[in-house]
Amino acid sequence: DGGITQSPKYLFRKEGQNVTLSCEQNLNHDAMYWYRQDPGQGLRLIYYSQIVNDFQKGDIAEGYSVSREKKESFPLTVTSAQKNPTAFYLCAIGQENTGELFFGEGSRLTVL
């Protein structure tokens, strides 16, 4: 059903390595978000961006970085500083003024 695409679906990395997760959208939404989903903890906001070239930290930004150079793209880098990076990462785009989010299929990162 397109609209918002995350890649890769599955990713393995060794400790100490940085990894970048891709999030692309073709729905022309200004707002984009990254959430982390862990069993028993729900979704927690990592970073969000309301406009190109601007982004804000969410509740658990430490060990992560983002960029928003284009409206369509909001990549997330999980750095080696993130202490517990193994998780399911969800990208979302925001419907303006409605509070409705459209989610991607997610990327599962496993650190070996």
Partner 1 sequence: AQRVTQPEKLLSVFKGAPVELKCNYSYSGSPELFWYVQYSRQRLQLLLRHISRESIKGFTADLNKGETSFHLKKPFAQEEDSAMYYCALNTGTASKLTFGTGTRLQVTL
Interacting residue ranges for partner 1, rule: CB under 8 A: 31, 33, 35, 40-45, 48, 50, 56, 58, 90, 94-106
Q: How far is the CB of 16 from partner 1 (least distance, A)?
A: 30
Residue 102, classified by CB atoms within 10 Å of its CB into exposed (0-12), middle (13-18) or buried (19+), is middle
Cis peptide before 75 (omega within 30 of 0): no
Q: How far is the CB of 15 from partner 1 (least distance, A)?
A: 28
* Nearer of residues 38 and 69 to partner 1, judged by Cβ: 38
Token representation of residue 13: 């990395």
* Nearer of residues 18 and 95 to partner 1, judged by Cβ: 95
Q: How far is the CB of 60 from partner 1 (least distance, A)?
A: 12
Cα separation, 49 vs 68, whole angstroms: 7
* Nearer of residues 35 and 74 to partner 1, judged by Cβ: 35
Bridge partners of 94, per DSSP, are 101
